[in-house]
């Protein structure tokens, strides 16, 4: 084999980074479960026609083919890798509705794949953590206020910068556009969605071209998009634009409730920001987008919204709401900035030194006794000189080396960092709690 | 959307089953880390030419294609989904050798994909948990004895039937065949590998046809395959067949050491069984295969071996040894037999009852206070009558319902199972430890 090279868009972490990722995932899992979300994994593949229901995303799908597929093989429909966890979840709910209890709260932490062009430098495989709540028939609006609190709480316990969630409401926008006399709200949304990329002048041009907006209508749309507030004051700001529509009122009420609830339970977590559009057109109520504070220009690390029509079959409707955290994206940003570190490269807390190869059974028993008390331990690979064994432990950050007593002498344990060495009783010795497992810490530095 | 149906070969668990799977995975992770194995995940895809290095497996690979791939796109080599975790790991080691410390102990728990024909009813997507140790240049034989102990210890803490690991040694077999005068050991192995499927008579026929074996040689090969023992006595049984070869002696010594170590540290875990061949031809030393006791006829749930030549580039050699646990396979067997159950369908321990919708902020604060003390809690979806809220909790097995005190009265908590209801202090109340999280238990019943 020639020495292999990375594949663009498919990031792989080294073990210390993977340990950081696992601690992040463990924390998210614990928080989601603490909020009553049940775990779920769906298969990596979906029938291609399901993935292509939304034309917009079709270009990003990886299609599968069995290498030895025979032509005319029966029952083998075209499959593609899922590009998010929402579409598979909606499918799972429909498929298993009779075996689920509603409202159904689930979290799902899995890889997703997007066949982006490699030269764009985007991830083609990445890890997402999603929470969703679906109900049968109707879904109460209070979940739109609850979901950001769950994500805020889950991320708050981690050594990463805080997030700011920006929320908008599709009914608010649609009502506003219709109240203005614009009757193709998706076309308006698509144009406004480009505001950050192309600026207000070109958005206005596009509004005229694709949504038939007059200059005054375009100006009003851009005025709406400029409104942002951390409290209910955005409602008055919208009303000051002088547009009226029942759907607008409904959306204003829902978004005000989301903002008020967040203010009460998690001050600083969320603001109303009426330029948030979100590309996918299945959202029907609140939409969310979040950035890491200090990393805003790198884009969203969390996004989602309410979708009323994604899981429907005949008369059965399962409206839902979800938020998705981009784990690979968060870690990619923070690793890139050198903003996270871990106290060692391996889980091992104690290396049991090996006096001679024929002492391996004794050393295996020592390691086994430590493990029975939850202390991660491994036996030295070889009976090299002790100095060499200690240096090997130090290289990967193992904090302690255990020396089995020879010829009736007591066992001893050395803290490699301080050099302190003492006799120790295998039945009772424990490391300081902080050394039991690798610890992740934030590295404070200037962001480039 | 019409109601979707499952895709053959792509199993999906319902949330209670997924909770069981997660507890299994968590236990494996904890055990692996306690033995000093660092976590790793590799990308799902490998270059197709790497996956096809072993011709045998080529028929099982899923190839990827970007739906909108343009012809002549540069730099986009053919990619396939990995069919195991060993080939990607060997590639990862070669790619990152300069950034790893050796011996490198890693575990990897990921989905793998095989494009099996759907009608065979095999999994096409399944979850594996692998541990491997690789070293640079040479790999000491003691790891061949250590690895089964790690797997035995990891699985021993779970409510699943015990496993029996059957071990053999490639050097032992190759030396024996060569000592017999058969000079195509892989051909002999391939024939012997079919012993369980086609029986000794047809194996003998195949040995004659494909390995040029005489009747006496075939009989000796079958005689070797019949030897099995839980202690070192297999060595004498092999010697009694009267074959001599240096490689045979080496293999006998290594396998005896594996068996002796297992006997000392984990009695009953492992036997020498000289019919174990393992299909893939990259193994070069000890090979392992394990079944769940009571489920032997369903095949291997764990397998692996030593591979000296999988990760080599030029003069750099990274010999390794690994064992792979088939998590989907174990759970598929046990779910199918109804052998596992979990105490509830959701992580939630306490449902906070909602007296009226305008009390939701109060109830959110109650749930939040419980969660701060690690008690999973959610607020009732609606302010239905208390009887209805309690029944909804009971349906998913939530053990406790919390009633916020109205008009200055104290809060109360009800154990739904016993019906007992008492006043409770939000700052101090805790559920019994056994109710804190869902508990997985083995269901004892006749195996069908």
Average pLDDT, chain B: 93
Contact A19 B37 (CB under 8 A): no
- What contacts B373, CB < 8 A, 6 or more positions away? B430
Distance from CA of A251 to the nearest CA of B (A): 20
- A-facing residues of B in 124-143 (CB < 8 A) are 125, 135, 140, 142
Strand partners, B377: B350
Which residue of chain A is at minimal alpha-carbon distance from B377? A35
Distance from CA of B405 to the nearest CA of A (A): 21
The torsion angle over the Cα atoms of residues A305, A306, A311 and A315, rounded to 10 degrees, is -170
Q: Shortest CB distance from B265 goes to which of A13, A44, A364? A: A364
Contact A40 B101 (CB under 8 A): no
- Both B166 and B69 in one domain: the answer is yes
- Both B398 and B270 in one domain: the answer is no
- Both B147 and B284 in one domain: the answer is yes
- Both A336 and A355 in one domain: the answer is no
- How many Cβ atoms are within 10 Å of A102's Cβ, its own excluded? 16
Contact B313 A2 (CB under 8 A): yes
Contact B65 A65 (CB under 8 A): yes
- Both B331 and B384 in one domain: the answer is no
Contact B66 A63 (CB under 8 A): yes
CB < 8 Å to A38, chain B: 15-16, 18-19, 345-347
Distance from CA of A222 to the nearest CA of B (A): 34
CB < 8 Å to B95, chain A: 3-6
CB < 8 Å to A39, chain B: 15, 18-19, 22, 347
Distance from CA of A216 to the nearest CA of B (A): 39
Q: Shortest CB distance from A381 goes to which of B40, B103, B381? A: B103
Query: How far is A120 from A117, CA to CA, in rounded Å?
Result: 6
Q: Sorting pLDDT into bands at 50, 70 and 90, what band is B374? A: very high
Instruction: List, for residues B214-234, the tens digit of each pLDDT value.
Output: 999 999 999 999 999 999 999
CA max distance for chain B = 94
Contact call for residues B16 and B83 (beta carbons, < 8 A) = no
- Both A294 and A377 in one domain: the answer is no
Q: What is the pLDDT of residue A179?
A: 97
Query: How far is A189 from A176, CA to CA, in rounded Å?
Result: 11
Report ipTM (2 d.p.).
0.95
Q: Shortest CB distance from B44 goes to which of A76, A96, A125? A: A125
Nearest partner of A228 among A177, A275, A194, judged by Cα: A275
Distances (CA, A) of B365 to A103, A396, B359, B384: 21, 44, 10, 19
The answer to whether residue B447 is domain-embedded is no
Nearest partner of B422 among B411, B431, B432, B434, judged by Cα: B411
Q: Shortest CB distance from A118 goes to which of B67, B75, B376? A: B75
Higher pLDDT, A139 or B70: A139
Q: Shortest CB distance from B378 goes to which of A35, A118, A374? A: A35
Mutation target vs A (from B8, B16, B39; most A CBs, 10 A cutoff):
B39
The answer to whether residue B7 is domain-embedded is no
Sign of CA dihedral B195, B199, B203, B204: positive
The answer to whether residue B261 is domain-embedded is yes
A410 touches chain B (CB under 8 A): no
Instruction: List, for residues B185-216, the tens digit of each pLDDT value.
Output: 999 999 998 998 899 999 999 999 999 999 99
- Both B261 and B306 in one domain: the answer is yes
Q: How many domains is chain B built from?
A: 2
Nearest partner of B317 among B140, B131, B138, B141, judged by Cα: B138
- Both A326 and A369 in one domain: the answer is no
A237 touches chain B (CB under 8 A): no
Contact A12 B92 (CB under 8 A): yes
Distances (CA, A) of A398 to A380, B36, B393: 12, 10, 47
Domain harbouring B436, CATH code? 3.40.50.800
Q: What is the pLDDT of residue A447?
A: 52
Contact B348 A81 (CB under 8 A): no
Mutation target vs B (from A16, A22, A67; most B CBs, 10 A cutoff):
A67
- Both A243 and A166 in one domain: the answer is yes
Higher pLDDT, B152 or B448: B152
B267 touches chain A (CB under 8 A): no
- What number of helices (H) and strands (E) belong to chain B? 14, 21
- Both A251 and A157 in one domain: the answer is yes
The answer to whether residue B30 is domain-embedded is yes
Segment B12-25 mean pLDDT: 97
Which residue of chain B is at minimal alpha-carbon distance from A119? B75
Contact call for residues B172 and B251 (beta carbons, < 8 A) = yes
Mutation target vs A (from B311, B378, B396; most A CBs, 10 A cutoff):
B378
Q: Where are the beta strands (DSSP E) in B203-263?
A: 228-229
- Both A330 and A377 in one domain: the answer is no
CB < 8 Å to A346, chain B: 36, 38, 105
CB neighbour class for B33 (10 Å; exposed up to 12, middle 13-18, buried from 19)? buried
448 residues of chain A, pLDDT tens digit each: 678 889 999 999 999 999 999 999 999 999 999 999 999 999 999 999 888 876 555 568 999 988 877 655 544 579 999 999 999 999 999 999 999 999 999 999 999 999 887 655 579 999 999 999 999 999 999 999 999 999 999 999 899 999 999 999 999 999 999 999 999 999 999 999 899 889 999 999 999 999 999 999 999 999 999 999 999 999 999 999 999 999 999 999 999 999 999 999 999 999 999 999 887 668 999 999 999 999 998 889 999 999 998 888 888 899 999 999 999 999 999 999 999 999 999 999 999 999 999 999 999 999 999 999 999 999 999 999 999 999 999 999 999 999 999 999 999 999 999 999 999 999 999 999 999 999 999 997 655 4
Token digits of residue A299: 């884009």
CA max distance for chain A = 94
- How many Cβ atoms are within 10 Å of B242's Cβ, its own excluded? 9
- What contacts B44, CB < 8 A, 6 or more positions away? A10, A44, A111, A113, A125, B81, B82, B110, B111, B113
Among A287, A314, A341, the domain-final residue is A341
Q: Sorting pLDDT into bands at 50, 70 and 90, what band is B74? A: very low
Q: Which long-range contacts (CB under 8 A, 24 or more apart) does B110-114 make?
A: B110/B41, B110/B42, B110/B44, B110/B85, B111/A44, B111/B44, B112/B81, B112/B82, B112/B83, B112/B84, B112/B85, B113/A44, B113/B44, B113/B62, B113/B81, B113/B82, B113/B83, B114/B60, B114/B61, B114/B62, B114/B83
Range of the domain at B392: 350-441
Domain harbouring A50, CATH code? 3.30.930.10
Helix (H) or strand (E) holding B77: none
B374 touches chain A (CB under 8 A): yes
Instruction: List, for residues B76-135, the tens digit of each pLDDT value.
Output: 579 999 999 999 999 999 999 999 999 999 999 999 999 887 655 579 999 999 999 999
B78 touches chain A (CB under 8 A): no
Nearest partner of B399 among B368, B372, B420, judged by Cα: B420
Mutation target vs A (from B5, B7, B67; most A CBs, 10 A cutoff):
B67
Residue reference for tokens 């000296």: B308
Among B341, B375, B403, the domain-final residue is B341
- Both B329 and B405 in one domain: the answer is no
The answer to whether residue B187 is domain-embedded is yes
**Helix intervals (H) in A81-184:** 86-96, 142-156, 170-180
Beta strand A377-379 with A350-352: parallel, antiparallel or unpaired? parallel
Contact A36 B376 (CB under 8 A): yes
Mutation target vs A (from B347, B402, B440; most A CBs, 10 A cutoff):
B347
Among B279, B308, B341, the domain-final residue is B341
The answer to whether residue A10 is domain-embedded is no
Query: How far is A335 from A154, CA to CA, in rounded Å?
Result: 20
The answer to whether residue A64 is domain-embedded is yes
The answer to whether residue A443 is domain-embedded is no
Instruction: List, for residues B224-271, the tens digit of each pLDDT value.
Output: 999 999 999 999 999 999 999 999 999 999 999 999 999 999 999 999
Q: What is the pLDDT of residue A74?
A: 46
Instruction: List, for residues B337-371, the tens digit of each pLDDT value.
Output: 999 999 999 999 999 999 999 999 999 999 999 99
Contacts across the A-B interface (CB distance below 8 Å): 256
pTM of the model: 0.95
Token digits of residue A256: 């005000």
């Amino acid at each position: 084999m020639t020495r292999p090279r990375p594949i663009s868009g498919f990031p792989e972490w080294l073990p210390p980074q993977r340990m950081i990722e696992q601690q992040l995932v463990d924390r998210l899992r614990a928080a989601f479960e603490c909020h009553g979300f049940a775990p779920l994994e769906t298969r990596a593949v979906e029938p291609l026609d399901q993935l292509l229901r939304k034309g917009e995303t079709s270009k990003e799908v990886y299609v599968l083919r069995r290498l030895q597929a025979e032509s005319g093989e029966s029952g083998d429909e075209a499959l593609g890798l899922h590009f998010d966890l929402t579409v598979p979840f909606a499918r799972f709910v429909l498929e298993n509705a009779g075996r689920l209890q509603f409202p159904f709260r689930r979290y799902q932490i899995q890889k997703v794949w997007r066949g982006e062009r490699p030269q764009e430098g985007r991830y083609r495989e990445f890890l997402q953590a999603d929470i969703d709540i679906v109900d049968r028939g109707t879904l109460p609006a209070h979940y739109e206020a609850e979901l950001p609190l769950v994500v805020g709480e889950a991320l708050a316990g981690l050594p990463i910068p805080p997030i700011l969630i920006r929320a908008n409401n599709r009914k608010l926008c649609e009502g506003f556009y219709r109240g203005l006399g614009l009757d193709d709200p998706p076309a308006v949304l698509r144009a406004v969605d480009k505001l950050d990329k192309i600026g207000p002048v070109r958005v206005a041009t596009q509004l005229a071209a694709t949504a038939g907006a007059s200059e005054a209508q375009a100006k009003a749309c851009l005025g709406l998009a400029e409104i942002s507030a951390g409290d209910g004051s955005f409602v008055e700001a919208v009303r000051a634009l002088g547009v009226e529509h029942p759907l607008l009122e409904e959306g204003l009420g829902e978004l005000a409730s989301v903002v008020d609830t967040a203010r009460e339970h998690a001050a600083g977590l969320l603001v109303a920001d009426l330029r948030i559009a979100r590309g996918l057109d299945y959202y029907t109520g609140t939409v969310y987008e979040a950035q890491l504070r200090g990393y805003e220009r790198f884009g969203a690390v969390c996004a989602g919204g309410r979708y009323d029509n994604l899981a429907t079959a005949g008369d059965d409707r399962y409206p839902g709401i979800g938020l998705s955290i981009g784990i690979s994206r968060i870690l990619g940003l923070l690793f890139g900035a050198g903003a996270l570190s871990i106290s060692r490269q391996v889980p091992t807390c104690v290396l049991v030194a090996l006096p001679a190869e024929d002492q391996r059974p004794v050393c295996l028993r020592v390691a086994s006794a430590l493990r029975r008390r939850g202390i991660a331990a491994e036996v030295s690979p070889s009976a090299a000189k002790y100095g060499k064994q200690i240096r090997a432990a130090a290289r990967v950050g193992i904090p302690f080396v255990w020396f089995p007593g020879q010829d009736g002498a007591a066992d001893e344990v050395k803290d490699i960092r301080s050099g302190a060495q003492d006799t120790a009783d295998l039945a009772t010795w424990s490391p300081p709690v902080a050394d039991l497992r690798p610890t992740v810490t934030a590295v404070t530095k200037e962001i480039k």
